[in-house]
Amino acid sequence: MCLAVPLKLIEIDGKSAVGEAMGMRRKLRVDFIENPRLGEYVMVHAGFAIEKLSEAQALEDIGAWEEVRDALSDC
């Protein structure tokens, strides 16, 4: 199974970028995103940003990931 995660773009250098969410940073590619900008949220799958997200949608998705993390930490 493959999962995509929402990340906020905090660095962009050509087609390479760094995204951040929940205290983690990941290198990614933005080849498939038109005109990526710092501060935008993107859905990342297999190291590639595959779509832009609204801030509201990204924060909702991040909240769901945090619920999963918190539930697993209770195990």
Helices and strands of the chain, counted as H and E runs:
1, 5
Listed by start position, the domains of the chain span 5-73
> Maximum Cα–Cα distance for the chain, whole Å?
42
Fold classification of 5-73 (topology level):
SH3 type barrels. (2.30.30)
pLDDT at 1 over 70: no
Which amino acid is present at 15?
Answer: K
DSSP state of 2: -
Residue 75, pLDDT score: 77
**21 pLDDT band (50/70/90 cuts)?**
very high
Residues 61 and 53 sit within 8 Å (Cβ to Cβ): yes
At 58, phi and psi to the nearest 5? -60, -45
